Amino acid sequence: MPPLLNRLWSRVRATVAPVPDISATLWLETLQRYPFLAALSLHDQAKLRALSALFLHHKQFHGAHGLVVTDAMAIDIAAQACLPLLHWGDAAAALGWYDDFVGIVVHPSEAVARRQTVDEAGVVHEHTEVLLGEAMERGPIMLSWQHVANTSHNTERGTNVVVHEFVHKLDMRRGAPNGCPPLPAGFMGTRTARAAHEAWWAAWEPAYADFRERVIMAERFGAAQPWLDAYGATAPAEFFAVACEAYFVNRTRFAQEFPALMPVLDGFFLPGLPQPD
């Protein structure tokens, strides 16, 4: 490991409660696999490594259908899961946002879930749904390893199933996700929680409406497909999660596509957020 990175790592780890170390070799291999992690400053890489080590200390990984979750796979997932928390101060306090679950279930590829819906007449309909990942309120997270590992495609398209599902956990902090996670009273210079939420929706509602319109035009009338994953048009909560994927994975392209959302996401993910309720 380069001496500067080693010094930064030692300095950052001194601020974290004793936890098992992440080997330098495995950590550097993770950075090499994910360009958006390698692009972080050396200081932020060291912070992320310490945060990821603490995350791994508190979470349990389970492989489905015979999949063996290796240390390298767990570190890859931990680093991406912790990325949204990177600038939220004390590591233990930041990880409090993920304290409603312990288990992370990793499938080799997509999972097929059976769903039930009830229509207005009270008739129950059963169907299947293909899932790349799923975050359950006050429950575990499920991920498709095939899609976690597809790094080149993910970076180009601004997609990331790990960020997507863990951002849902942020949105679920106070109940069912709605596309607006808990915000501090001082968010974007506002003075009250109500003003903070008004500022949030002032940016997100028109962006979501415009994106839905572009997706509809593409799907029904053959217009150009939008760059952002069309799944974001299914609900405000999904738009928030899909937007956050792109914000972290391909910030430059996301800023070009959604300039009005950049200051809002910067205001949320950069320093100053309070501890979770």
Q: Report CA dihedral (65, 168, 172, 92) to the nearest 10 degrees.
A: 90
pLDDT in tens, 84-107: 999 998 888 999 999 999 999 999
pLDDT in tens, 2-15: 666 565 555 555 55
Res 4: pLDDT? 61
For residue 206, the SS3 value is helix
Report, as an integer, the average pLDDT of 140-167. 91
Is the pLDDT at 124 greater than 70? The verdict is no
Q: Does pTM surpass 0.85?
A: yes
Please list the residues that pair with 131 across neighbouring strands. Answer: 111
Q: Which CATH code fits 3-269?
A: 1.10.472.150
Is the pLDDT at 178 greater than 70? The verdict is yes
Question: Which of 107-116, 172-181, 203-212, 264-273 has the weakest average pLDDT?
Answer: 107-116
Is the pLDDT at 23 greater than 80? The verdict is yes
Q: In the predicted model, what is the mean pLDDT of the chain?
A: 88
Is the pLDDT at 277 greater than 70? The verdict is no
Is the pLDDT at 223 greater than 90? The verdict is yes
CB of 242 within 8 A of CB of 228?
Answer: yes
Report which of residues 17 and 29 the model is more confident about.
29
Is the alpha carbon torsion for 10, 13, 15, 18 positive or negative? Answer: negative
Percent of the chain at pLDDT > 90 equals 71
Cα 96 to chain centroid, rounded: 15
